């Protein structure tokens, strides 16, 4: 009997489910948006939101608890054809994502259904995103535009004289 069991089994063993949940959450924190099936997105959403709430506390006990729940996967980025370590998922979670959502009571993620379906099994695909990502992108674009305008105007002034 399944009395008081709330999580979906997803046709996986408990160890496989735990590993999948950790990997999806780590990828979500690293990239801030991932594409997956609707069932997996709904399953990982609660786990990710609990970790973001934990990151809002920011103390050592919360950091250790997050490491025990999620693991501490390294983040790599491509730099001139070489993969360079740029930090860890836990450090990004506690330094960027936790402070970003301090004033928010919950609802850190959103699920957007995609029109396309997965080849092979025709599974419904969705985007799982962190809320507020657009605000970050617009701030970065406005900063780069301001910097770009300053450079252009100085070039224009230098070319006129």
Per DSSP, which regions of the chain are E strands? 33-37, 74-79, 82-88, 109-117, 124-130
At 36-95, the pLDDT tens digits run 999 999 999 999 999 999 999 999 999 999 999 999 999 999 999 999 999 999 999 999
Q: What is the pLDDT of residue 148?
A: 63
Over residues 104-124, the pLDDT tens digits come to: 999 999 999 999 999 999 999
Nearby residues of 68 by Cβ (< 8 Å), 6 or more positions away:
none
């Amino acid at each position: 009997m399944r009395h008081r069991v709330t999580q979906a089994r997803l046709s996986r063993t408990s160890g496989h489910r735990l590993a999948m949940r950790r990997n999806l959450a780590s990828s979500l924190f690293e990239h801030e948006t991932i594409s997956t099936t609707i069932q997996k997105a709904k399953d990982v959403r609660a786990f990710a939101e609990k970790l973001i709430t934990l990151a809002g506390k920011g103390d050592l006990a919360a950091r250790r608890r997050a490491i025990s729940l999620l693991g501490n996967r390294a983040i790599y980025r491509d730099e001139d054809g070489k993969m360079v370590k740029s930090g860890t998922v836990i450090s990004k979670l506690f330094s960027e994502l936790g402070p970003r959502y301090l004033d928010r009571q919950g609802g850190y993620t959103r699920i957007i259904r995609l029109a396309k379906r997965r080849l092979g099994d025709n599974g419904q695909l969705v985007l799982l995103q962190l809320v507020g990502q657009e605000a970050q992108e617009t701030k970065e674009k406005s900063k780069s535009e301001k910097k770009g305008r300053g450079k252009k105007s100085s070039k224009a002034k230098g070319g006129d004289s």
